Amino acid sequence: MPATYTLLKYLHVGCVALSGAGFMLRGAWMMRASPMLARRWVRIAPHVVDTVLLASAIALAILIGQYPLAHGWLTAKVLGLVAYIALGSIALRRGHTRRVRIAAFCAALLVFAYIVAVAMTKSVLPYVG
C-alpha cells in the first residue's frame, strides 16, 4: 500500500483510540457527576477528534474504493456509528435519569467495540466463525 494509505490508516486508528478513551473518561465523569464535564475543552476536544476521525474514514474509503451500501462491512460500521452517536448523546446529555445515562453509556461502549471489531475483520459478524 502507498504511504498515503498507511498515514491515513494510522491517523484514523489514532483518532479511534482518542475518541474511545475520551468517551470512556467523559462517561466516568458523568457517573461521578464531575464538574469536569462542564469545562470548555472537554466539550470541544471530542468534536475536533471526531471530525478528523470522520475525514480520515472518508479519505480511506475513497482511497481503497470501498463504500457504504456497496460493501457490507462499511455499511455495518456506518450504522454502528449512528447507533454509537445516539447512545453517546443519551449517555452524556439527553438521558433524563442517571440510570438511563449509565445504560446508554454501557450500550455505546458495546457498539464501539462492535465497530472496531468490524473494522479489524471487515466482517458484518466479526464474532462469528
What is the tens place of the pLDDT at every residue in 24-44?
999 999 999 999 999 999 999
Question: What's the pLDDT at 15?
Answer: 98
Q: Write out 54-87 in H/E/C secondary structure.
A: HHHHHHHHHHHCCCCCCCHHHHHHHHHHHHHHHH
Amino acid symbol at 40? R
Inter-residue contact 124 to 60 (CB < 8 Å): no
**pTM attached to this predicted model:** 0.93
Say if residue 67's pLDDT is above 80.
Answer: yes
Each domain of the chain, given as residue ranges in start order, spans 3-121
Closest CA to 122 of 65, 52, 56, 75: 75
* Residues in CB range of 11: below 8 A, 6 or more apart: 52, 56
Amino acid 13: pLDDT: 98
Residue 27 identity (one-letter amino acid): G
25 alpha carbon, distance to own chain's centre: 14
pLDDT-derived band at 127, boundaries 50, 70, 90: confident
Summarised one tens digit per residue, pLDDT across range 71-109 is 999 999 999 999 999 999 999 999 999 999 999 999 999
pLDDT, the chain, mean: 96
Amino acid at 107: A
Q: Which residue has the higher pLDDT, 1 or 59?
A: 59
pLDDT (0 to 100) of residue 119: 95
